[in-house]
Structure 1
Amino acid sequence: MLKEGLEMIGTIRSYSFWLAVVMTLICAVIGTFLAQLPYLSLFGALIIALILGMFFQSSKKLVNQASGGIAFISNKFLRLGIILLGFKLNLVQLAQAGIKTILLAIVIVTGTIFLTYLIERKFGVEPELAILAASGTGICGAAAVMGISPQIKVAPEKLERQHENEVLAVAIVAIMGTVFTFIDLGLKPLLDLTPTQFGVFVGGSLHEIAHAVAAGSAAGPVGLDNAIITKLSRVLMLAPAALLIGFWYQKKSKQDNTEKEGTAKLPIPWFMAGFILASVVGTFAPLGTNMLNILVKAAYIFLGMAMSALGMSVNFKVILKRGLPAFAAVFISSIILGIFVLTVSKLWF
């Protein structure tokens, strides 16, 4: 623990760290600004920050100089961003939405992760990529991918490939979510849904919070409120999902590797405890709306910095070569998810 702390202090004091901070902060701030513009809002600040990070790869010398800081930011800032994201969850509002919304979120998250993972594996996608794509599809897009990824412990020689898996999973849920946002908006006149039902439908079936907001707003204030509440109910599942997936993956890896001896350390995601604590504090402490908004904005800045750092450090040519089966699997599971949530919203809300 002491050694790790000293290494962290050394990293923070280095030129590499501060260069990486400047580069990733630029991407995060620009991404936040661009995400407020029409059409670009469908992608969200995190996806835009990732894309901007990709552009820095054209300056290999600069990226190489910042490589140590980039690795630090993609890891530590990610956890800090997820903790702060907890302030976005108002537990009282979620409770007031009723047991139906929470139960629906549990079924959606559990069923979508299982279904998407099984389809991905049937299509020959490696387990690490399959579970990341499944988590992003079932829970909350890019934030879920980055929240689950630390639970997937891989050997040091596989770290670069795992970074590629993270970016590919983020790209999959971003693109699929955008595609289905347009599909849902196009189908809206034909679905004969009340504003409440349409809000539940898009909040329960679309991948990113930005997607749910963009589509839900088409049904007016009532549709938007229900879309956000339903989506945030899925976000609430991030912490328990990370814990369960960590246990599952550790057990699976141990079974696959018969030469492994001893008992591995349980992969408890302590930063997820911070996520839950932040949601409790944000709900019950008298912080005020302005302070909560600042904390949530800070969360997206830190997450945007982590996403852009990821974009600076991966081989996209390799990703493109093996991405098609994963895209196809998520496309199929997204159709099934949409049909299921549409049916439930009509019958239950």
Structure 2
Amino acid sequence: MYAKLFEKSFYYALGMTLFCSIVGSLLGGLPYLTIIGALVISLILGMMFQLYRPAITSAEVGIGFISNKFLRLGIILLGFKLNLIDLAHAGVKTILLAMVIVSGVIFLTYNIARKLGVSKQLAILTASGTGICGAAAVMGISPQIKVSKEEETAKHNDEVLAVAIVAILGTVFTLIEIAIKPLLHMSPTQFGVMAGGSLHEIAHAIATGGAGGPVSLSAAIITKLSRVLLLAPAALVIGIWYQHQDQSTSGEKGKLPIPWFMAGFLLASIIGTFVPMPSSVLTWLVKLAYIVLGMAMAALGMSVNFKVFLSSGKKAVVAALTSSVILLVFTIIASKAFF
């Protein structure tokens, strides 16, 4: 009986989330919507589905499954976007800059958020999205945060809120960086490094880097992907740290939170880099990654609690905004000094 109910719920959820993801992907390719990105548009479309509650109720179990399992699959497939040879050619400077940015911004954003009274869970998700790679980082770090069944709804709300924060701020800073470009007097490479080092989503870095020409765009993508590469080790470190924090308060010892799906992410990047395959296949694998991730984002949107969403995010926004301003200033100085 339960198997039949789950199957029906899953197919309902599959259809709704796939619709949101495909529409999000199409809209995300439009000129004025590119900087928002397909993933965030899919999330918004999922939230709009809540206007028709009967559909959400009938698909509730399937929505939970897709937001969890499809998320991991999407992150694994996203690994095909990483070309390790290109990252190696970028040099030690780029990797070191990415390491400083990821570790520094996560630490800074988390501590500012906690000082302002933001919950530990929302603080680390917002910090991860700001420091690493936006929505994909929030979704990649989230499985490392283990909660009880009673707390799963609150966790979903925090995930959506963190994604919304980094998406909005990333879009705002994209427009700011393009506007101040003439005032910075940077070379194309320096401007690209600044864009890739300071902006949250890959789409944001591409939009800004492209404003500086092909050399700037290439530098932006490489710098941004250097931060994406750090998603796997960051997930492991944050998982261990978060578990240690929980042990300190509860006294219970849990299992080591190894993010096995991140091993798939790295394996996919190795295959994409070293296994000969047509570029069209790699392109389709990356597109599939965004479709699957879009479905997971839509599922999250379908399960968000709007009251919590609107009431608990202000302080997290202040924390992310503060660290984003500091990050922009830092990347301007670093790119001018070292690139």
- Classify the TM-score, shorter chain: over 0.9
Measured after TM superposition, the shift of residue 38 of structure 1 is 1.3
Counterpart check, 1:151 vs 2:144: yes
Tell me, in whole angstroms, the C-alpha distance in 2 between the residues paired with 1:182 and 1:328. 19
Q: Which moved more, 1:217-226 or 1:315-324?
A: 315-324
The aligned residue for residue 82 of structure 1 is: 75
Counterpart check, 1:289 vs 2:279: yes
The aligned residue for residue 211 of structure 2 is: 218
Counterpart check, 1:330 vs 2:330: no
The aligned residue for residue 118 of structure 1 is: 111
Counterpart check, 1:279 vs 2:279: no
AA partner of residue 333 (structure 1): S
The aligned residue for residue 333 of structure 2 is: 343
AA partner of residue 85 (structure 1): L
Tell me, in whole angstroms, the C-alpha distance in 2 between the residues paired with 1:337 and 1:12. 48
Tell me, in whole angstroms, the C-alpha distance in 1 between the residues paired with 2:87 and 2:196. 13
The aligned residue for residue 228 of structure 1 is: 221
Question: Would you identify which runs of 4 or more consecutive aligned residues in structure 1 move more than 6 Å?
Answer: none
Change (3 A) 1:277 1:12: farther
The aligned residue for residue 4 of structure 1 is: none
The aligned residue for residue 179 of structure 2 is: 186
Tell me, in whole angstroms, the C-alpha distance in 2 between the residues paired with 1:328 and 1:154. 26
Over the aligned positions, Cα root-mean-square deviation in angstroms equals: 1.1
Measured after TM superposition, the shift of residue 13 of structure 1 is 6.7
Unpaired runs of at least 5, structure 1: 1-6
Counterpart check, 1:298 vs 2:298: no
Tell me, in whole angstroms, the C-alpha distance in 2 between the residues paired with 1:153 and 1:223. 40
AA partner of residue 275 (structure 1): F
Tell me, in whole angstroms, the C-alpha distance in 2 between the residues paired with 1:271 and 1:291. 22
Unpaired runs of at least 5, structure 2: none
The answer to whether the 8 Å contact 2:128/2:141 transfers is yes
Tell me, in whole angstroms, the C-alpha distance in 1 between the residues paired with 2:5 and 2:17. 15
Measured after TM superposition, the shift of residue 157 of structure 1 is 1.1
User: Which SS does the other structure have where 2:31 is aligned?
Assistant: coil
Tell me, in whole angstroms, the C-alpha distance in 2 between the residues paired with 1:190 and 1:129. 35
Counterpart check, 1:308 vs 2:301: no
Measured after TM superposition, the shift of residue 257 of structure 1 is 1.4
AA partner of residue 58 (structure 2): Q
Identity %: 63
Measured after TM superposition, the shift of residue 288 of structure 1 is 1.6
The aligned residue for residue 162 of structure 2 is: 169
The answer to whether the 8 Å contact 1:164/1:319 transfers is yes
The answer to whether the 8 Å contact 1:204/1:227 transfers is yes
User: Which SS does the other structure have where 1:268 is aligned?
Assistant: coil
User: Which SS does the other structure have where 2:34 is aligned?
Assistant: helix
Aligned residues: 338
TM-score by length of 1: 0.95
The aligned residue for residue 63 of structure 1 is: 56
Task: For residues 78-117 of structure 1, give each alpha carbon's deviation from its aligned partner in whole angstroms, at most 9, with x where no partner exists.
Answer: 0000000000000000000111000100010000000000
The aligned residue for residue 257 of structure 2 is: 267
The answer to whether the 8 Å contact 1:11/1:69 transfers is no
User: Which SS does the other structure have where 1:71 is aligned?
Assistant: helix
The aligned residue for residue 233 of structure 2 is: 240
Measured after TM superposition, the shift of residue 244 of structure 1 is 0.3
Tell me, in whole angstroms, the C-alpha distance in 2 between the residues paired with 1:220 and 1:184. 14
The aligned residue for residue 10 of structure 2 is: 17
AA partner of residue 122 (structure 1): K
Tell me, in whole angstroms, the C-alpha distance in 2 between the residues paired with 1:148 and 1:298. 21
Task: For residues 294-334 of structure 1, give each alpha carbon's deviation from its aligned partner in whole angstroms, at most 9, with x where no partner exists.
Answer: 10000000000000000001111211101100001100000
Tell me, in whole angstroms, the C-alpha distance in 2 between the residues paired with 1:71 and 1:17. 9
Tell me, in whole angstroms, the C-alpha distance in 1 between the residues paired with 2:5 and 2:281. 27
Tell me, in whole angstroms, the C-alpha distance in 1 between the residues paired with 2:6 and 2:104. 45
The aligned residue for residue 133 of structure 2 is: 140
User: Which SS does the other structure have where 2:213 is aligned?
Assistant: helix
